[in-house]
Every structure is written in C-alpha cells, then in structure tokens.
Amino acid sequence: MKRKIAAIFAADIAGYSRLVAEDEEETLRRLASYREVIDDFIAKANGRIFNTAGDAVLAEFPSAVDAVRCAIDIQESLRTRNMAYPPSRQMSFRIGITIGDVVERNGDLLGDGVNIAARLEGLAEVGGICVSRAVHEQVANKLSVQFADIGAQEVKNIPTPVHAYMVAMRREDGTYATPQLKKVAKAAPAPNWMWPLVVGVVSIVAIGVGGFLYFTKLETAQVASGAPTSTAAAPAPSPVSVPSPGPTPTMAAKAPASTPSQTAAATPTPVPTPPAASSGKFPADAVPFIGERQRSFLSDVYSSAGDYKAYALNIGGFYGSALNQPTEEAAGNAALDQCQKRADAAQSPRRCELYALGNKVVYSHGSPPMPPQPWFRHDTVTERAFVPKDFPMLRDQARTRLENIFAPAAKSRAVALGPAGHYFMTLGAASVDDAVRRSLESCGAIAGSACMIVAVDDVFVVPIPTVLRAVGFFHAASSPSIVADARDEVVRKLGDGTGWNAVAVGTSGRPGLGLKAADEQTAVNGALADCAKHDSDCHVIAIGPFTVGPAN
C-alpha cells in the first residue's frame, strides 16, 4: 500500500433514483453521454478516475487548482446540456473536493480524504461545488472564483466538523449565483448540571406568563361587558402539504409579519381568523407561459385552496406558489421567492411577478399578443428538416443556441419568432400543442406583438426562403409596397396559401402572385411573370410568410 496526499474529487447525480424510476433507458443513455463529458474533462485536467459506482465518480488530481477548475468546467458544460430538458428530467451533479492523506491499493484510494470528499459532495447544491477549507486556501488566490463560507459542518462518520465553502457558479451573463448556506454544525449539548437550572427558569417564566394572561383576560372581560360583539375569534389555520403534479410546487411558508407592541390599555393578542376561499373560481385556463401539468395543479389544487395563497410567474415559464400562509403579504412573498429561485437556477433573465393573490388575478400585463389560429399547420410541399443555420431573421449566436439546445432536446418542442427577430423556444413539453402555445405566449410577451411558429420538433413548418433572404413578416393588408386598392385581393388569394407562394411588385405597386407552387423558384418565377403583365421593373417582396430582400 502506498500513502500520499492528493486532491480528491467526488461527484454524484442529484435525484438519480427518481430519474431511473421514471425512465430507466433514457436515464442510463444520458448518464453514459454525461460520463463521456466528465471523463474527458478529468483527463484533460491531469486527473485520474479511481472508482465509480453507478452514478458516482471518484477522481484524484495532482493539485487542488486542477480539481476545482475541472469541476467548474464540468458543471458549466452539463448545465448547458441540461437546458435541453424540462426541469424534472435534468441530470445534475453535485461535486465535493478536498485535499487529504489517502492510501492507494490496487489503483483504488482509501481513507478520510475520500470520505470527506464524498460528504462535501452531499453538502453541495444541485449543479454546484462544495470544497474543504484546505482546498479554499489553495485556490482562493489562483482562480477567479468566488466562494461562500458555510462554516463548520457536521458530516456522517467524520468525528470532527468539516469547514466548507461553496463555489459561486457563473451565470451566462458573467455574474455569479449566490450559493445557499447550509446548516452549520450543531452546538455542543449543554452539560447535565444545567438542566435543573433550565427547567426551573422555564417553570418560573411559565407561571408568570400564565398569571399575566389570566389577569389580562379578566380585565378585558370587564371592559367588554355590556358592549355587544358579533365576531368570534377562530384558531389560526395550520399549514398543510398538498400533492401537486410534477414539477411539484413547494409550499413555501414564511414567518408572519411582526405585530405591533401592546398599547397601555392591554388587549388580548388577536388570533388570526381562518380566511375563506376567494370568491369566484380561479381562471386556470387563462394563465400564460406555463405547461399543462402546472395548469392542472392550478385548476385542481390551487383553485380549491383557501386563502391566504399566491401564484407568481415570469415570461420564461417559471412559477412559484404558496398555500395556507398566515397573511396575504406572506403568501405573495413566498410565491415570488420560490419562482425567482427557480428562474435564477436556470439563469433566466426575466424577473418573476405576482400573477394572483387568492383567486384574484393581479398580473398587470394582461394576456400576451397571440396570432389567430391555427397557430401552425403541416404542409408536405414546403415542410423540411430543421437546420439551425437556415433559421430566418436570427443572428449567428442565436442559431448556435438553436443548434446546441433546441435541436438535441426532448420532444415536444417548438420555436416562435417575432417580427423584429425575437424568438422563444419551448422544450420537452407535454404535447406539441402545449409547446406551440407556450412558445407563442412567451415570444409575444417579449416582442410586444404576435409571433409565428417556425419550427416544431424536427421540421420547419413554414416555407423558409433560400432564393432571397427573409427580413421580416409579410402582411399584405398593410404592405406599403402594394398599391392600396389591390391589398384586399392579395390577402384573399393568399388566404389558403398551401404550397409555395410569392408576391412581386413593380414601380406602380401592382402585385403579381405565384401561388401554390411545388417549389420556391417556381413561385418566384410565377410572381415575376404575373407582375410583368401589369407593371414594370418587377421584383419579389415576399416568399411565404416573410418579407424578403437580397440574399447575403
């Protein structure tokens, strides 16, 4: 056996058993894919994997700097891959790192260093990294990494508390997420000789408080005698845990707001009355941005719950709910806090807002602008395989995101496009209709105008111009290029526009149409020929739903 000092890296998947239970084959397939990423990063950082068990990975590194840098690279890479999946199916690792004295036996490493790394991994946030004080001291001035000191932690099978630090993970915009502090080590129990003293003090306080309340009640009863009363105080409602469809909304309870101090004319501390359910049924079907599973929760659980309750959401589809809270303010704060934590964890740039207090909608933005239905239709003539580089009206950076995130994502998925180049994609929805609606709602809220579905799952569902470049949305009824008295006729003829359609105009604005063609070039040629019958110097202004300009 060989003894040495090494930086020990331990990684494990959060919620692995649940993922396997829900879909074993898909989980194992993704685990193999993610392990390729992890193994590659470890090898590049001069690390060595010395043990694996199921979803766990144990590795050693020659230095703490190499280990931490490798861990950050792994988490950032896997975070990007996870964006292709709904939150309930994301496969996120926790990583723990320490420096310790270990024993090598037949290639495996044993000892407290390995055990402490595994315990630090258990302290890490989902998708986060937790390191020991020894590691922090080694890397604090060598890497541009921020840490949060979470103090001494009591961990299983380690006799002394371990002082630990969380690594602040960088978001896409370059800022750093603030790690959530874990519980600190428990204080040592009070010596046995103190218990009689504690019991005595508590007894004296209890007698004093009981006497005060008795005489206070007596005085209040005397003051109130002769004054009619019609309201009886009822016990405060107790928080309940309510099942909900996944992703499960956490019923986040907050402490009630502090009450004003007693006045000189002592009155009993008011006991909150149990709030009744808000009048009217909660309009679950009208809530935008969310999926059908969350809508079912709103319809079945939230709607029937009594106040105080609240619901929060943001444009990106993140949400938070709180039921059975002590006050309306506490409900609102708890719902907002839960929603924002979910949004921050996914690096969403959109802030959460209150949608409802009780069953009353308080969201000030109303419904997002939506196009008329049908929101999309399949046309075998124009439909073709989705290729990110051909997506119209987007910058190269956005097309790269579509290639890395949308293309490999789980179905059902859809991308909506706005008239100014805004876009929004929904991944892993319960159905195509759900993905389409959510994409249009979020895109419309961001763009401020109705968007258009361009891609669904693996295909473009609108004609994508290639002869000319798409530069905007084409609306014949308001097109300034078409003479006013001809616009209605163009709208009518394009109304059932299956196949390839094109519009051309000349110097007088007289339109020519190429309708229901079998391919793009035929539609373009037809539009130019038709325009030439009525006008001169004709050129194509629209192909399919897009206004077009010269190709790059």
CATH superfamily of 2-167: Nucleotide cyclase, GGDEF domain (3.30.70.1230)
417 close to 393: Cβ distance less than 8 angstroms: yes
- Band (33; pLDDT cuts 50, 70, 90): confident
Average pLDDT over residues 53-61: 88
Residue with the two structure tokens 């939506």: 370
Res. 252: pLDDT tops 60: no
| Predicted local distance difference test score (pLDDT) of residue 27 | 86
pTM: 0.53
- Band (2; pLDDT cuts 50, 70, 90): confident
φ, ψ of residue 357 in degrees (nearest 5): -115, 120
| Predicted local distance difference test score (pLDDT) of residue 136 | 92
Q: Where are the domains of the chain?
A: 2-167, 284-361, 384-460, 469-549
- Band (23; pLDDT cuts 50, 70, 90): confident
- Band (426; pLDDT cuts 50, 70, 90): very high
Res. 140: pLDDT tops 90: no
pLDDT digits (tens, 9 = 90+) for 162-219: 899 999 876 544 455 555 554 444 444 444 444 444 445 445 545 554 544 444 443 3
Res. 52: pLDDT tops 60: yes
CB atoms within 10 A of CB 457: 14
Average pLDDT over residues 241-270: 32
| Predicted local distance difference test score (pLDDT) of residue 198 | 46
Q: What is the mean pLDDT of the chain?
A: 80
Between 351 and 159, residue with greater pLDDT: 351
Average pLDDT over residues 465-475: 93
Computed from CA positions of residues 62, 65, 67, 69, in that sequence, does the dihedral angle turn out positive or negative?
negative
Average pLDDT over residues 29-42: 89
Res. 424: pLDDT tops 90: yes
Across 40-44, 100-104, 269-273, least confident range: 269-273
| Predicted local distance difference test score (pLDDT) of residue 192 | 46
pLDDT digits (tens, 9 = 90+) for 333-363: 999 999 998 888 877 888 999 999 999 999 9
Res. 451: pLDDT tops 70: yes
| Predicted local distance difference test score (pLDDT) of residue 85 | 82
| Predicted local distance difference test score (pLDDT) of residue 254 | 31
Residues 124, 49: Cα–Cα separation, whole Å: 20
Res. 434: pLDDT tops 60: yes
Residues 418, 421: Cα–Cα separation, whole Å: 5
Cα 148–chain centre separation: 23
Average pLDDT over residues 91-120: 90
Residues 193, 195: Cα–Cα separation, whole Å: 6
| Predicted local distance difference test score (pLDDT) of residue 66 | 93
- Kindly report whether the peptide bond that precedes residue 374 is cis, defined as omega within 30 degrees of 0: yes
